[in-house]
Structure 1
């Protein structure tokens, strides 16, 4: 419109020029002239010849005045978007010769730009998005589009009341060029909240169900904490589509949104008004499969699971044919692709919709079976190829299977050597004619070695810890000098060394595991050796008495084999272990004997199943359960000792000891009898526990469910029981359960099992000597902050309860110590898993009257 007005004004000026020269010019009464010359005037930096040439007003050309030649010249100059004002005058007329003058004013250039109301880091984006660089020609269009862009941008972010003002100030430079300084003032205001969502034309579905379908657009609800009620335009647009999908899921496939509008309320909230047209309810009619030869109609119907007469659900139909949200979904497309038919296509087609009953044909083109041709890996610089290839479920010449591709990604992620979030399969060179396809797995290696170096005070003195864990070790290269970069790596073996020492104890441990013993089968071999020495506190010197010590030396050998039945997620593990407990004048009350030794030769068998999703640090689905039985030799069956008589004698000696302790003025004879009874009781217990006899059952199960994207629910159930073959011999004082606290067992010297229960002090929920039974239930909700390879961080909140019992008579699985709290976990490849939890215990610690209250727990190298 502005250009059109300029043209009209220019023509009027030309007519006035003729009048000034004695010519009576009227529109529609043009006269032909010879253009004798064109000059340029005004405030412009462009060359006169350039302007004249660009205008098309060529000297010597015959033109009509008024006429199209002058109008086209003005139009061309306007279209260059270089000028703010254009006028063409008749400078002079000599007979049939006319002289014209083009008067111009250049558009101002942007000199300086100032943006207010926006963070410094966001300003560069505004400049780039709107091309507001210095020297840019400033037009009304530029100002308008910049303003509209910013308002639209902030409205999409939820700032519905955003305001943008743009002002320009003319400045002159030394060359008298037109320049302006621009000020862009942004006032985002507050994100507006949604007071109400109103549906007009709704009758088939309840309003609350429609609001629920809008996942990210919620009206104000004070009780809701996980979803805010702020308006985000992009989320709102997605929710409008979700609303139609909700109708489609309930049989109203013709439903549509006629109009949507937003009104601003007086309290600065907004209300959303949606006018709906629901249409009529549809049912599924006959569903026929066309083109299927590999699978029968009956087999395909098992996956489709839709019957004639069911309410029409287009969303469900598509999911049963191809569920794009789940790579391992039980749908028809995966049925074909898991059995080689990569090139198959499956299309549902409506063939009739009479009387609101939809008959369908599911047309299948099966194609040729596909076979893997080339299977390659890229991105592994440290890990040897054979470590990766042995985990693959896809081999050259093998029939294509999508499930095997998905499983390969899972197995590579579970190794812990690669960034699980970056593992991707690239299906390449599909050849339907030859029936071949290539696949390349791209991996991104992460640090797989960890170091633990810490110091602190505890147990009466300074404690220093040095731990080294190499999770991708190569023991065959240990004597190769050039393999140390900084250590031999690449064979997938695990080697760990740990040293911990203070004035009062020393701990040394070494472990090694080979996951593929012999290199041909997934049979894991593992071994560990440890030695711990504890010294008794001397109250006189306030130091360690090295003549009073408690030593534990242990060795374990284990084999774990991956099974194929019931499925290949199962692992059967077996281990043989020996521990020597040696007490040297170590009288603490922990055991009834201070001198002597106990030996623990045991066999452990375990069955586990782990089908958790790709990332072992942050699984989003699947489960992991483990049941183990640890068994000693039943010595009491063949050692010839009458443990019933021995136990009766022990009770007699214990009675003498108890009576003596109650006697405030014992005689010499009573004191002698007490000493003899104490000595004999120790001898009896030394006899009972010379070789430990026991059985121990443990169960732990974790389940992972992704509620919404990346929000994961993790329930956990744990149970443990320590029993005796011979009740007269009794439960052993070792291998017991200690419940409560952070679960760290740095000071566990007697084979005890330390179980975490947050919200309570460490090991406070078991008796002094430990429990023989425990159970624990936990419910954890996790959400990731970042899952980058350099650091994986996730927040969590938890509810849990558990209890420990000394015997089966007291066992009550519902009488629990309960807690709740929040925490954070950080996994860094070099340091392992670190974290902190704030737990609130709702019940008192046994023996106390008040509840435990808030407790802080630091987590190192473990997961709950």
Structure 2
């Protein structure tokens, strides 16, 4: 490409008109270059009049404008502006027809060829679709050589991240008669390249295995990690080199360095890495000094920092405790939670005598800031006030980092917004004069409503299910026809409706509603109502149940209240419930003298009419970051339920403690541990016939079968096989336990997180037991299982869970189960339980 500026200057000097002729605008004796007024501007090299006009507008030049010739930045800036359009490979501006102080300018351009189309060969499927989203080429637009090179680089980088480091991209350019072009990118991925060897030199304090272990994403390929090739990624490798240094810094090697590293090919499919380190000496903390702090004492700052005199100097821990740790107890966080938004702390480390370090922290506290204007954007369905009531960032209150973090956590718990949109927190703009921090929460709404349409086959034949769960309902707009899109929404209320039926023999109807903020306060209230009806008999070679009829009606009302002490994560709740069971039928036994006996349709429910009225009080602390897929935080719940002996009502008292603890392991992995303890006892000393713990199976197994008991799901085992059992006329059935212990652990991977699908595969290890009384209680006698599974959340369908588990312990079989250790596939729809 020629130098356009040189062409322009040459045109000025060889032009027909004299360059420095005296004119009215350039008086003799006046210093500096002469000025000229642009009389006319012409564009050469383009036929289209509208495009010529667009070039003139883009140049910033106009008729009547005064410019300085031959020097000045106006022409050079005009050339740069036209180049930035991206339509031309060459641009030149020169003068013609100069008369006095008036001059005509000519803009000469060479258009880039227009792209007819492009295609990728050598690849197909999803890779092709993913690449086309990244490639900057657009059909019908000019294509520059830099665009072609950029596309080649995008393709090689794309496959480089997947381990194809030797990907080769060849470009075939076909020029048509019109001058436009078609491009073909022929991609040859070749074989994957994996890291075969990592070697360190200069390391004496730590062996190669320790230093390789410090590298998180760059690992040697090993046969036993057959499911995962150890790909080499340049950016990850640079980060891992820093992690090697951090490993030394964690153990007191203050001046450890990497002095050299090299990456080389061992073969066509493998690379080797050599890293040379200089370890230096190990240092200890001698003295810690603070300067400039007036708000927080030296002792409190030192305690938060975690440094102790005489201990090994841990530079990594110091930086985390200084600028940001997961607990939020870092030094900078303590200042920011007190309004000192601009606070800054800079450490100075000095080598003292021998192997000692003196550390001085220079604190600049700054001014106290308050929250200013709080804006919300991106919400198209959820009303602003539903979001604002979850925010802890209140205008006029002191700025607080923890208030922002808690606001994000509570917005995540709503499940209305994508995690990605909340991850970065709100954008902050600061008014320095008013000392205010203005926040904007930019959210991206995702589908939270669920439609469930399914069918199952069981003891009543084919059962169809239709369910709706609206998690962002608006009851106040129920009679507003314009708000039905397809239902009134945006007020954060929850409405659930469900119908299950096989037509003649079985029907179930349920409805529930929750208002999370009653009268403008965080006091959830709500209730539910359910009715089920069964009409059928059972037949076998020995006996039969005829005229079987079972009806169940249940309803409850609850109110909860958020507590401010010990912190805002605590909540108390009260639930009042009523249950009615009507279980009827009689049995003919061909081997008995009196072959007619009154029994119920379900042997697990007492025959005849049974009722219970109960009140439950609960105390909960919930700090989970996400209700569906928690990766951090905990949920602890203690509840006591009492069913008093009112007349012939069923009586019991029931105690439950459930816990759920989660620890993040990097960005996509987490580990969770959960427990479930329960006990149900008698108030009057009479047998407890209802609400026992029935352990085993999934929510899918209990559809239409969980009357009178509390199902406790257990992966790897069939429904109800864990715990006491009873022999009834229709066969062996679960009796339910009065004492429950259950333990669950999961290692999870958040594999997919998008608006269309969220997927979390996991490994699990479970153990549970149920006993008939405290006398038979043996907490060491547990049924164990382990396996793999995946949870999927689709906005319309809801939560799906598949697991494949192995039960380690034999059990007494029920129905078609075998009772021996084996692998079992299970499926559930809905949140399920642990």
The 3 A distance-change label for structure 1 pair 167 and 562 is closer
Structure 1 unaligned runs (5+)?
1-81, 83-108, 640-689
Alignment pair present for 1:803 and 2:772: no
Q: How many residues align?
A: 693
Distance 1:511 1:173 in 2: 67
Which residue of 2 is the match for residue 75 of structure 1? none
Which residue of 2 is the match for residue 494 of structure 1? 494
SS at match of 1:368: coil
Q: Do the aligned partners of 2:545 and 2:585 also contact (CA within 8 Å) in 1?
A: no
Alignment pair present for 1:696 and 2:697: no
Which residue of 1 is the match for residue 824 of structure 2? 855
Distance 2:707 2:565 in 1: 37
Which residue of 2 is the match for residue 658 of structure 1? none
Which residue of 1 is the match for residue 11 of structure 2? none
1:184 offset after TM fit, Å?
7.8
1:418 offset after TM fit, Å?
2.2
The 3 A distance-change label for structure 1 pair 128 and 389 is closer
Alignment pair present for 1:719 and 2:677: yes
Distance 1:781 1:130 in 2: 42
Distance 1:344 1:311 in 2: 28
Distance 1:309 1:595 in 2: 75
SS at match of 2:751: strand
Larger Rg: 1
- TM-score, normalization by structure 2: 0.75
Alignment pair present for 1:273 and 2:278: no
The 5 A counterparts of 1:532-681 are 532-537=532-537, 539=539, 547-585=547-585, 587-588=599-600, 590=602, 596-613=608-625, 615-634=626-645
Which residue of 2 is the match for residue 751 of structure 1? 708
Equivalent in 754, 765, 789 of residue 722 of structure 2: 765
SS at match of 2:244: helix
> Which stretch has the larger CA shift, 206-215 or 248-257?
248-257
Distance 2:152 2:676 in 1: 61
Distance 1:709 1:378 in 2: 26
SS at match of 2:196: strand
Alignment pair present for 1:158 and 2:182: no
Which residue of 1 is the match for residue 65 of structure 2? none
Distance 1:795 1:332 in 2: 37
Alignment pair present for 1:742 and 2:741: no
The 3 A distance-change label for structure 1 pair 111 and 718 is closer
1:577 offset after TM fit, Å?
1.2
The 3 A distance-change label for structure 1 pair 263 and 133 is farther
Which residue of 2 is the match for residue 217 of structure 1? 218
SS at match of 1:285: strand
Distance 2:516 2:117 in 1: 66
The 3 A distance-change label for structure 1 pair 366 and 456 is same
The 5 A counterparts of 1:22-37 are none
Q: Per-residue CA shift, 1:1-31, capped at 9, x if unaligned?
A: xxxxxxxxxxxxxxxxxxxxxxxxxxxxxxx
Q: Do the aligned partners of 1:262 and 1:272 also contact (CA within 8 Å) in 2?
A: yes
SS at match of 1:619: coil
Distance 2:299 2:227 in 1: 44
The 5 A counterparts of 1:457-496 are 457-496=457-496
Q: Do the aligned partners of 1:150 and 1:164 also contact (CA within 8 Å) in 2?
A: no
Equivalent in 791, 797, 801 of residue 835 of structure 1: 801
The 3 A distance-change label for structure 1 pair 431 and 354 is farther
Which residue of 2 is the match for residue 381 of structure 1? 380
SS at match of 1:844: coil
The 3 A distance-change label for structure 1 pair 113 and 622 is closer
Distance 2:465 2:168 in 1: 60
The 3 A distance-change label for structure 1 pair 411 and 136 is closer
Structure 2 unaligned runs (5+)?
1-88, 90-113, 587-598, 726-732
Q: Do the aligned partners of 1:216 and 1:227 also contact (CA within 8 Å) in 2?
A: no
Alignment pair present for 1:409 and 2:408: yes
Q: Do the aligned partners of 2:337 and 2:400 also contact (CA within 8 Å) in 1?
A: yes
Which residue of 2 is the match for residue 44 of structure 1? none
Alignment pair present for 1:253 and 2:254: yes
The 3 A distance-change label for structure 1 pair 598 and 165 is closer
1:574 offset after TM fit, Å?
0.9
Higher helix proportion, which one?
A: 1
1:295 offset after TM fit, Å?
0.7
1:693 offset after TM fit, Å?
1.4
SS at match of 1:241: helix
Distance 1:436 1:172 in 2: 59
Which residue of 1 is the match for residue 668 of structure 2? 710
Distance 2:548 2:788 in 1: 43
Distance 1:173 1:415 in 2: 57
Distance 1:455 1:137 in 2: 57
Which residue of 2 is the match for residue 101 of structure 1? none
Q: Do the aligned partners of 1:282 and 1:358 also contact (CA within 8 Å) in 2?
A: yes
1:538 offset after TM fit, Å?
6.0
1:357 offset after TM fit, Å?
2.9
Distance 1:197 1:182 in 2: 41
Which residue of 1 is the match for residue 338 of structure 2? 339
1:774 offset after TM fit, Å?
2.4
> Which stretch has the larger CA shift, 258-267 or 281-290?
258-267
The 5 A counterparts of 1:500-515 are 500-502=500-502, 503-515=504-516
Q: Per-residue CA shift, 1:755-814, capped at 9, x if unaligned?
A: 111112222324222222222211112112221123212212211121222233322222
Distance 1:432 1:314 in 2: 34
> Which stretch has the larger CA shift, 375-384 or 335-344?
375-384
The 5 A counterparts of 1:138-537 are 158-160=163-165, 162=166, 164=168, 187-224=188-225, 228-265=229-266, 269-323=270-324, 326=326, 329-351=328-350, 353=352, 355-423=354-422, 425-502=425-502, 503-519=504-520, 521-537=521-537
1:116 offset after TM fit, Å?
6.2
1:144 offset after TM fit, Å?
11
Q: Do the aligned partners of 2:660 and 2:674 also contact (CA within 8 Å) in 1?
A: yes
SS at match of 2:524: strand
Q: Do the aligned partners of 1:343 and 1:432 also contact (CA within 8 Å) in 2?
A: no
Q: Do the aligned partners of 1:548 and 1:585 also contact (CA within 8 Å) in 2?
A: yes
1:573 offset after TM fit, Å?
0.9
The 3 A distance-change label for structure 1 pair 803 and 241 is same
Which residue of 1 is the match for residue 742 of structure 2? 776
Distance 1:549 1:153 in 2: 64
1:752 offset after TM fit, Å?
1.3
1:433 offset after TM fit, Å?
4.0
